[in-house]
Each structure stands twice: as structure tokens, then as C-alpha cells.
Amino acid sequence: MSVADVVRERGTDLDRGLTTEEVKRLREQFGPNALPAPPKPSVIKQILAQFLNPLVGTLLVAAGIAVGVATMGHEPGGPRGLARFSDAIAILTIVILNAFIGFYQERKAEKALDALMKLSAARCKVRRSGEIVHADARQLVPGDLVLLEAGDKVPADLRLVCATELQTVEGELTGESTPVEKQVDAAVPADAGVGDQVTMAFSGTTVVHGEARGVVVATGRETQVGRVGKMLSEVVKQQSPLEERLDQFSAQILWVTLGLSALLFIIGFVKGVVAWHVLLLTAVSVAVAVIPEGLPAITSITLALGMQRMAQRGAVVRKLAAVETLGCATVICTDKTGTLTRNEMTVRSLVVEGLDIEVTGDGGHAAGEFRAAGETMPALPDAAKQAVMAAVLANTASLLRRPGAEVQLTGDPTEGALLVLGEKAGVHREEAMKGRESLLTIPFNSARKRMTVVTRERADGADVVVSRSKGAIDVLLPLCTKCLTAEGVVPLDDARRAAILAKAEAMSAKALRVLAMAERRLGDGAVDRDEAERELTYLGMVGMIDPPRAEVKAAVEAARVAGIRVVMITGDHPITAVAIAKELGLWREGARALTGDDMRAMDDAALGEVLPQVRVFARVDPEHKLRIVQLLQGRHDVVAMTGDGVNDAPAIKQAAIGVAMGRGGTDVAREAADMVLQDDNFATIVEAVREGRAIYRNIQKSIFFLLSSNAGLCIAVFTASFFSPNAVPPLTALQILWINLVTNGLPALALGVDPPESGQMQEAPRAPEAPIMGRNDWIGIMVVGALMAAAAMVIYTLPIWAGSTPHEAERSKLSMVFTLLALSPLAHAFNCRSRTASIFKLGVFSNPLLVVAVVVSGAIHVMALVVPGLQPVFRTDHDWTATEVAVTVGLSLLPVPAIELAKLIGLGRPKAPAAA
């Protein structure tokens, strides 16, 4: 839209701005220039939501039945008073504890839209009724005439009507740190992306150079930042793979629980041996035996401990499930600038006549070497130093030296890179200017594409005036008539000119930004602008780039070996993006690159077909990033999205796991993310993948341990129900809860922090639809459960109570079975550490926490057997004989040889990774 169209549509007077009455009317029409605060769930709703889990509901029903049975009466010899309600109290305590653990995690309410509001400028200069006033940015309305200057934060989306060398940094929206030159009268296509709309200044971006006036065309939700906010609020966060699997697992356990309990009740009712309320209590016991009550707490604690380990490695996890989600990631979509690259321009190449010099080091340190033909140069030749001098003097950036070789740059990143080049070459701008008098500066702008500085200085014993220029090679070279060589200044003939341009094109093909340097010695008279930039002597050129981080290439290769595809999504030029991708090893044979324009021309079906081959998306807008993530998820990929800008936030939130940068990232990206990298190090993501896989495997170990132990309880209780309670006294609900939570809980937690198994990063990513427990796992669970139950039935049938009273025999059997089903899982816990490796190969003491957990759990159970105050509660008031101890301990070890045999025949071996 042209300036005239904007003025006509908005009714803005470019000399006086809007009147007070017009501002008031427009504010009532459009509202404040701010993003609306998102609704937040109430505390009550969040607490109540914790009880909607099917397993929790089943336990609540079981607690209600236990209360009802305890109220109706009690068995002869059973507990009295409040002890009658011990089953119900124990069940309710576990339910409430798990609910508050979940509530605590969910109270980390999302703050992404709040962070977006912080991007709005607090104050701004605006012309109203002919006067310039400092107004609250929230009070701007469409049609306001805003004044901008260097250092300002743009308060709303503006159509520029007047600009003088205006440059803005739009990294918050595009992800790119290079300043964008703005042009008032440029022809911009209607479908141009954000980065190409050079006639606009967007809300939340920063002015780094020049000044301008602009008419407000969008405020609040209608700005580009606001559109990101709307997308963010509309994104529905998908469940993590772990959450999905646990939900499915809970549903399966629920149906098994209901089926077994109903079957047990029906069989008992038909037999008519015991009263119906006793049958209900028995059914409750079966339900409690099947349900792994400690699983939610153990899962949360295992993930929380994983969070602590990740924080020590520089990754702060904001949401528990995100820890393991990275472990099954199949695609990592990553921004380029600041994530794969250093987010600082660095000179890589210095080319003078007859010499191609490689520059080492980075753009943030003065340390570096110069190499020619692979050999380190002891010093730069004079011709090269002369070229560097021109680049350093024709410069408006500033450099602050810090301890060591580190430097801090202020100003344009490109010019800062040239100052760092000078530091490496021993050409320091401050020292160079001490003997020079600045006479004239002709600034850089988008039309001229060059900058010139004229100084008076002392040379060869006389005062001379020297003009030095730097700029685009295609602009500066036509102004040159001579060329500096090792032999001196020679005419710049067509052959030399063609060779220079060919070299510049080769450098550009490597994604290097090329700048040329030139100079001219003038007379000692008045300095003329035209004279300063004609008949120049070409000195040389530099090639610079925002280089990849040193550690990223190895991290990308590690991801590939782990079966994870890394995709670059950037707002940068495709040539630059592909060059970086090749340097990092992202670009494989058959890879493709797509631009935002390519994506606009493709529907979802066409884009989905080529997605597996695409390694680079360039010149993309926020909508494109979100679309890419959604299409990948439609292909059943588990997508991790990394980024640091506002433009990344919707895709970060949409992804299964969003990863934001902590140092260079925006508040919006960090608040939308599941994980924040404090060191902005892409390699930390690979460590997170490793940790995520280890955590998921440990959760599987804990679940296998709990379910196999519960299977023994369930089968034992279910089998005992077919016999007379006098001959086969059944376990009570309290005893089952004691085994599930008190004696089994600590080993399950210790398995959750088991050291990672070797080779996990050579396995294929876990399929998103894969169940938590596979077929072999379920076979193992049933085998172990059957062995434990069989051992319990053996105890019931042993003829070692001859001569005992019925009460003594009943208490003796119950105590032994109670202890067997408590100790057998403790021995079995060591089996659960690996699906393939023998416990003797792993070493019993390689997980010292598990050893401590087993010893402590065993000691706690012994307390229930010997403490007089606990014996009536657990019905363990019985004096043990040596035979009973030996039989109980011996039978409790049965699962160990069974699982060792399964490992020996190769059950549960992992699959190899597919090519990524």
C-alpha cells in the first residue's frame, strides 16, 4: 500500500497528525494497543481435574466401599475402632497425595501471552494536533503519526512515510539479527513475507540506525506480534507420548481391574460361602492389588529427578513430561541464527591481489590466525594490512576489549566483524585514528551500498588526504581504475576486473557476504564528495558469515546416528541456509530446500509428500513454521522445535516439545517452551535426547517392576478367593497397599534413577504409538506374577502347622504369604534393571540407591512383623520359626532365575535405528 493510500484510508494529516477528538473516537473503535490477557484456570478447577483420572476414580470407589463395609461391621478378631477404617484411610491418603503432586506441576501456568505484552514499547513519540508528545504506547490508534529514531522500540505496525537511512532489527519476528534497511517508496508485493516488507516497521522490533516517521496501520492483536499471540492462544498443546501411553495404560488397567473384581464378586456370590459385604471388600482388595497406586508419584518423581540432572547440563525443563518426550523425538526443527550459528558476523576470508587468506577465530574474540595455502602466516603483507585499514576506518561501529581476547561490539554487526578483523591483524581503530583528522564521512545507505571516510594524515613525511571506502563489490569495483598488488599500484584492466568478480561470485556461492575495500589519495585542498569516490584503487575484499557453532556438527551427527532427522527452518536466504546445512552435515544426498514462496504455492498434500526430503526451509514466516510442525505431526512424527524469537513461539508450543534459547531467546519463546537451554548450545539437545531415552527406559523398568509385583498379588488374592478363608486366609486391602507402596515404592523410585544403559543412542526412536509395555514385557509380568502367586499357594499347602490351633495356623500362613509377596519383589527389582543384561554382568552394587532401597524396604516390612503396635493392624501377631523364615526367603527368590533365563534366550532386544 502506497503512502497516499495509507493517508487516504487513515485520514492522517502528515504535518499535524490526528486531532484529540479523532484519537478518542478511534480508541473507542479499536481499543488499546495491547494484547489481551489469556484466561487462567482457577485453583479449584485445577485441583478437581486431578481426580478425573480413571484409576483415581476406581480407587475412590474402592475407598467408599471400604468405608461402607467397615461401617456395617467387622470380622471376629479383626481390628476395632478407627483401625477398622485403615483400608479406606490408606487408599484416600494415596489418592490425595497423587492429586497434589499433579496440582503442583500444573500450577506452572503458561505466561507466553504475558511475555508478548512486554514487547510493546512503554512510551513513544507521536505527532498530534501539530505537536510532538510522548505518549503511552498502549494509547496509540490506527492513523497516529509516530516518530522513530535510533534506539527506539517500534510501538505498533507502521507504514513508513518518511525515512532517513532507517535500519531495524527484526530478529524478534524473523529470527535474523542482520539490520533491515527500510525504503519508503519501494515496490512490495502484496504477498511479501515479513522480512521483505521494507516499507513497514513492525511492533516490537528495534531501530538501530536512522530516523523515520510512520502512520500506525495496526495495533494490539492486529500487529504482526499480535498475530503470533493469536496463533499462540489458538494452539492446542498435544499430549506428550508418555502422557498418551499412560492414559491408554490406565484405561487398560481400569478394565482389567473392573473385570477381575466383578468376576470375583460373582463367583463368591454364587458359592454363597461368605456375606456379600465381605465379598465387596475382597473385590476391593483385588482392585487395589491390580492398580499400581504409586505409579503417578513415581513417574512424577522420576521425571523431576531427570529435570535436576538436565539443569546441571544447562537445560531447564519447565514441564515434567518434556524430559522423556525428547527421548522419542524423530524430527528436530531448529532455527538457524543463534541456534545452529553464533549469531555474530565473522570474517572468514580476506582476498587481495594474488593472495587468498583464510581468517580463523570467531567474531567475538580478537584471537585468530591468517593462513594462506594451509600455512599460518607470521604476519600480513602490507597490501593486506592496507585493505584491513580501509575496512577499519570506514566504519561506525565501536569495540570494547574485555579481559583475554573477548570483545564487546556496539553498532552494525557487519561493521563490528571488520573491527574484529582489524584486532586480529593488529590494526586497532582507536590507535589508527590518533594520527588522523576526520574530514568527511559519506554514510552507507541502501541506494549507495557503500561508505566512505576521508582523513588527513601524515605519510612519507608529508600531510596527505586519503579517501577510504568499503561497500558491495558490484558497486565499488566500477568506481575503481587501479589495483593494489604486491608490486605496487597497477591499472585495473578487464582481465583483473573479471578475475575479481569471479572470485566474489565464488565466495557468495559459499554463503559469504562480500565487501570490497578501496582508497584514493587526494590533493590537500577542499574535499569534494564526488572526488572522494572516483578513480579509486581497489585494495581487496572480505567474505563474512554468521558461522556455525563449533559443537553443532558433532551434535547433528549424534542425532543422525540416533535416528533423528534435523531440519533447519530460517528466515535467511536459501543459499546461505543450504551452505550452513552442508557445513554442519545436515545436507544429505537427495536433500531439498524449500522457501516460503514454495510453501505458499503448495497445498498440504503436496508439501507433505516432499517433507521427508526437505532439510532446509528458508525465507519462512511464523505461519509457515507452525504449518511445518503440524504437517510433520500429521505424519506421526514426534517433533521437537527449537528457536529463540517471537516468530518461533507458536511452533514451539505446537511441537511435542518446544526448546527455547535462554541467553539470546525472547521471553515469548521461553514461556511457550517446554525446555530452555541456558547455554544456547545445540549440543545440549542431544544430551537431552540421551537423558530422555534413559528416563523413559527407567519409567518402563519401574512399571514392569510394579506390575509384575502387583500381578503376583492379584493372582494370589484371586486364587485364594476360591478356597475357604480358614484354609487360605486372603490378604487384606491394607496389606496389599503396604506391599504396593511401602515396600515396593522405594525400589521403584531407585529404578527410576538407574544409570543409562550403553547403546541407547544407537537405537531407533521409540514409535509414538508404541505401548509402554510390549508383548515380551507382558509375558514377563505374567510369568513373574504367576511364580510369586504359586509360591504363595505353596505356603498355604505346606504341612508345617500340624498341632497348631486354627487361629495360629491362619496367622502363620497370612504372615508368611504377606512377607513372601513383600520380599519377592525386592529380589526381582535387580532383574528389572535391564531387558537383556544379566544382573551379574551389571553388578548388584552398580546402582547403590537400589541396594539401599531394597535394604530399607525390607527393614520397614520387618517392622510390620515385629512391632507389637503394628501386628494387630497387619494381622502379623505370630512367632516365626526358622523353618518358616527359610521357606519364605527361599521361595521369594524364584523370579531371579526366571528372568535370567528370559534374558539368556534374547527376549526384548532393541531394534537398530533407521537412517535419518
Q: Which residues are catalytic?
A: 335
Cα dihedral 715, 718, 723, 724, rounded to 10, equals 120
3-state DSSP call for residue 840? helix
3-state DSSP call for residue 352? strand
Cα separation, 796 vs 813, in Å, equals 6
Q: What single letter denotes the amino acid at residue 133?
A: V
- Its sign, for the CA torsion 597, 600, 605, 606, is negative
Q: What single letter denotes the amino acid at residue 24?
A: K
Question: Hey, which bits of 557-652 come out as E strands?
Answer: 565-569, 592-595, 614-618, 639-643
Q: How many CB atoms lie within 10 A of CB 733?
A: 28
The answer for residues whose C-beta is within 8 angstroms of residue 317's C-beta and 6 or more apart is 306, 307, 310, 311, 323, 674, 675
Q: What backbone torsions phi and psi does residue 364 show, to the nearest 5 degrees?
A: -110, 0
51 HSE (CA, 13 A, CB side): 11
Contact indicator for 643, 669 with CB cutoff of 8 Å: yes
Cα separation, 240 vs 231, in Å, equals 20
The answer for residues whose C-beta is within 8 angstroms of residue 652's C-beta and 6 or more apart is 641, 642, 643, 658, 659, 660, 669, 672, 673
| Cell, residue 327 | 527421548
Taking the CA atoms of the chain, what radius of gyration do you get in angstroms?
A: 37
Let me know how long the chain is: 916
Helix axes 682-720, 276-290, angle to 10 degrees: 150
User: H-helix or E-strand containing 524?
Assistant: none
| Cell, residue 856 | 530399607
Cα 539 to its chain centre, rounded Å, is 46
| Cell, residue 178 | 542482520
Cα separation, 18 vs 181, in Å, equals 28
Q: How many helices (H) and strands (E) would you count in the chain?
A: 35, 28
Select from 595, 596, 636, 582 the least CA-distant residue to 612: 636
User: H-helix or E-strand containing 398?
Assistant: strand 398-401
The answer for residues whose C-beta is within 8 angstroms of residue 508's C-beta and 6 or more apart is 514, 575
Pairing mode, if any, of strands 123-128 and 131-136?
Answer: antiparallel
